[in-house]
Structure 1
Amino acid sequence: MSDDYGLSSVKETVAIAPPSIDYLPKMPTTYRPKIGLIGAGGVSEFHLKAYRECGFDVAVIADRNIEKAQARRDEFFPQADAVNDYRELIGRDEIEVVDVTPHPVDRVPIVKAAIAAGKHVLSQKPFVLDLDVGDELIAQAARQNVRLAVNQNGRWAPHFSYMQQAVASGLIGEVTSIDFSLQWDQTWITGNEAFEKIHHLVLFDFGIHWFDIAGCLMGDQKAESVFATATRFEQQTFEPPAIASAIIQYPSAQVRMSFNAHTRLGEEDVTTIVGTKGTLRCRGRGLNEQSEMQVFLENGCYVAPLSGCWTENGFQGTMAELLCAIQDNRTPWNSAANNTKGLELCFAALESANTNQVVPVGAVRGLLSF
């Protein structure tokens, strides 16, 4: 009787030449509008650095703390104006695109005002905390004939972007399972009141990227339910539960997520997608350290090197895609309407973690707390 669990029957893989997968952000060729950025908080650094790298024209930066707006202006776009009232920025005729970065509750009235003024809008993620509000904003943008997109920047992380393009091309057939396994050190938030008060920091503030990516990778397959858990252990240094997991059930597939945000030694980030015709796998020490993609197909395997990183490609890609969509008179891939699929998954996961119950996708339309 064999005791090798069938390992001796595993076929040797043959190296093959990789197909061309175009996963880097596309830049607009002719449309270079004047951009206004609202909110000069921490995340604005990544936005402005990316826009400077792309050669985009940021003309005005607004923040209610004028010194913060001026500091961002001086660091990234010295020729821009700094103002302390977002309504002044929105009121300027030369501004065609507005990047809105404040937190969700503060963001909604700003997005509404920008759309009403006929501006195209890039909204920071998560788009909204209430899908009914999101639907209203989407409808308002349609009436005004402006584009409303979401800064769901993980879509342009090199490994996720490669996987999305490969799956969309049919390279591995129909997706049957996706496994996200992340162990990383987020103990730097210890003592930071803004982060410490977010109970579902892992599943919501962080995990929203993975729920969005899951929705993208699964394409037209419709999720049925989510079961999620969140666990806090006594020795962890910050208040929100550091360990979380989620299982998204589809009629003939599963997506599984495993998170540990308190991994001080041996960080690792692994994504595996299994399809009916092949498997994709990427492994690295962290979000910005995914340097190659492993691809296993029926006729052989290959390793594709990856260029760029999440914080570079991601923030470039979200704005670039919006500008390309305006230029080409089409809907941006990161449109607000496209973003709601991931929000439904995330909202169901938070409800499941709170109730210890399986939650149907679509049953939770908004969040009272997170």
Structure 2
Amino acid sequence: MVIGAATEISAKVSELAELAYRPPSPQYRPPIGLIGCGGIAKHHLEAYRDFGLNVVAVCDLQAELATELRDRFFPDAQVFTDHHRLLADESIEVVDVATHPEPRVGLIQDCLAARRHVLSQKPFVLDLDVGQQLCDMADRQGVRLAVNQNGRFAPHFSYLRAAVAAGCLGRTQAAHLSVHWDHTWVTGTAFEQIKHLILYDFAIHWFDIVRCLLPLAQAESVYATISRVPGQQIMPPLAASVVIQFDSAQATLSFDALTRFGQQDRTLVIGDRATATSSGPDLQQQSVTITDAAGSYSPHLEGKWFSDGFGGTMLELLSAIEADRPAVIEARDNLESLALCFAAIESAETGLPQVPGSTRRLPS
């Protein structure tokens, strides 16, 4: 039975009606610069515009890309083709580095050297040791380095994170996530050349969120498989599965990236006091239900992953700067999510379970 009012179910679950899951609202709204005006950048700028943030400069090697996005979202912003010129503007305090991974390390280093706070596009780095070096550099420079794990601020994932953090589910012992969708939109793009497209570029959101859903458990091994789907026309295998064994929990991830009809996205989180589920036809439309011994509660969620997720990451970074605290998307923490991702790819390559952190570089 689904009960409409939280006050009619147990006291612990009733807290769910008051959970803060929307993106934070810091007073700190500094000038922001964006480096990298590829396909994902429009979602960043749309979110920043919608949340009233202050983007004053955009930069890309191709001036026409930067100009098109500037004119569309922040007409008063400056356009640069050299990121050094952007960093020369001392009014810019925060930089969003939204390029592909290969050039990103050098760009982040330059931003940190100039003592700018940085939001890095995900996946953060291709090498965990390089990522640690960037985190250490940020610490030495006294600035924040965060990663745009925007899935954390998708309304359903943000709500589940808040419920777990508040103890509303008790101690969580299992998380099972499955995504059945059509990823062939990458046809003709650079993404089509990434062998582990699903496990690397896409599943990093799920490797990251599963850590949030099982915060007291330590991952011990990862086993993953990939396979081609009959009829697929692009190079990357479009089916993948992952089993993560924790010291006190388990998790499974399932990806079917050639689901042409009846697409579904589902999440199940089991705790010793309550169980949470989230489901919907896609990442934008999700319904959450929390069930305990007294009944069930389904909140009305506001917002969507696009653009709340992208706005949420920048707002979280600004909130962390304002409060002088680590961001929940701090780059050092994100290395733990990347360790799961790299272990899964190594497992898919070797056919053997892997210990998270033992694979230091993205397997080719």
Q: TM-score range by the shorter chain?
A: over 0.9
Q: Secondary structure at the match of 1:95?
A: coil
Give the TM-score, by structure 1 length. 0.94
- Matches of 1:321 and 1:15, distance apart in 2: 31
Measured at CA, do residues 44 and 264 of structure 1 come closer, stay the same or move farther in structure 2, by a change above 3 Å?
Answer: same
- One-letter code aligned to 1:273: V
How far apart are residue 189 of structure 1 and its match? 2.0
| Match status 1:83 vs 2:80 | yes
Structure 1 partner of 2:92: 95
Aligned mate of 2:269, from 265, 270, 273: 273
- Matches of 2:193 and 2:23, distance apart in 1: 34
Structure 1 partner of 2:240: 244
- One-letter code aligned to 1:312: S
Structure 1 partner of 2:9: none
- Matches of 1:92 and 1:75, distance apart in 2: 22
Q: Secondary structure at the match of 1:224?
A: strand
Q: What RMSD over aligned residues (CA atoms) do the two structures have, in Å?
A: 1.2
Q: Secondary structure at the match of 2:298?
A: strand
Structure label with greater radius of gyration: 1
- Matches of 1:188 and 1:51, distance apart in 2: 25
Q: Secondary structure at the match of 2:234?
A: coil
1:15-164 equivalences under 5 Å are 17=6, 18-19=14-15, 20-29=18-27, 31-164=28-161
1:174-185 equivalences under 5 Å are 174-185=171-182
Q: Is the 8 A contact 1:129 1:366 kept in 2?
A: yes
* CA deviation string 1:253-286 (max 9, x = no partner): 1110111000001100010001111100011000
- Matches of 1:21 and 1:111, distance apart in 2: 34
* CA deviation string 1:22-54 (max 9, x = no partner): 11001112x111101001111110000001011
| Match status 1:189 vs 2:186 | yes
How far apart are residue 14 of structure 1 and its match? 6.5
Aligned mate of 1:305, from 300, 304, 307: 300
1:253-292 equivalences under 5 Å are 253-290=249-286, 292=287
How far apart are residue 185 of structure 1 and its match? 1.2
- One-letter code aligned to 2:133: E
Q: Secondary structure at the match of 1:241?
A: coil
Structure 2 partner of 1:218: 214
- Matches of 2:3 and 2:117, distance apart in 1: 49
| Match status 1:345 vs 2:340 | yes
- Matches of 2:116 and 2:249, distance apart in 1: 40
Runs (4+) of structure 1 moved beyond 4 Å?
A: 12-16
Q: Secondary structure at the match of 2:93?
A: strand
Q: Secondary structure at the match of 2:219?
A: coil
- Matches of 2:181 and 2:243, distance apart in 1: 20
Give the TM-score, by structure 2 length. 0.95
Structure 2 partner of 1:294: 289
Q: Secondary structure at the match of 1:146?
A: coil
- One-letter code aligned to 2:281: R
* CA deviation string 1:224-254 (max 9, x = no partner): 0000000003311222111100000012211
How far apart are residue 105 of structure 1 and its match? 1.0
How far apart are residue 193 of structure 1 and its match? 4.0
- One-letter code aligned to 2:35: I
Q: What 5-or-longer segments of structure 2 have no aligned partner?
A: 7-13
Structure 2 partner of 1:367: 362
Measured at CA, do residues 225 and 53 of structure 1 come closer, stay the same or move farther in structure 2, by a change above 3 Å?
Answer: same
- One-letter code aligned to 1:154: G
